[in-house]
Amino acid sequence: MSDTDTTDEQAPQALPGDGLREGIVDDLRERIGDSLLEFHIVPNDDLTVRVATEAWADTGAALKLAGFTWFSFLSAIDWMPSPYGNSESDPTVEKEPIDMTIKHGVCGGETRMQVFARLTDLDRHVGITIKADVDDDVQVVDSWTGSFAGANWHERECHEMFGIGFNGHPDLRNMYLPGDFEGYPLKKDFPLLARMVKPWPGIVDVEPMPARDEEDES
């Protein structure tokens, strides 16, 4: 056995890097500086970054200049656990207390709410997910509509369902709910009354099948 051979007792070799996505992170850092707060690379698979809230719109514009011209979607995340549970438990069984500790996922920040969006560079066949914290007291970020026209109705939906405002958006009217509707249905603390009455998948009244004569069964 030569000195260059490895054995089971030796530490495993490091996974190969991802020069493409590492380069994208470096380029974005040059464009927005310290506003790039965090990133997560899954080698040869995916890239997620978290940016400062005040740099949310500037990041979208910077990435468009960097070649990420395809806007996929924009939405929000509510990291708070639902105080009502998952509505899938047996309603006749006493529920355990719900742990309301907020546990953030990949590139989760310091607030309950985040906005996130997905862009793609069609020439390099690579996508990036961008996240930014939304202030708990003033839930407003800047609009992406100046860079991506397709962000228009995504921001309207996000405003309607999560209550997040978008500075500079031309028209945040509701698309689905009545104008005087109170509350934001996709926030975790919004009570889904239908699920409380009929926990998922629903308590339904099932009628028995009609009785069949023995002659019919022969």
> What is the mean pLDDT of each successive set of 10 residues along the chain, which is 218 residues long?
44 66 97 98 96 98 98 97 73 78 94 98 97 97 98 97 97 90 89 61 56 58
Contact 172, 165 (CB under 8 A): yes
The DSSP output letter for 74 is: E
Strand extents, DSSP E, 122-186: 126-134, 140-142, 165-167
CB 172 within 8 A of CB 184: no
User: Would you list the domain boundaries of the chain?
Assistant: 19-209
Top-tier CATH class for 19-209: alpha beta
Would you say the pTM of this structure is higher than 0.85? no
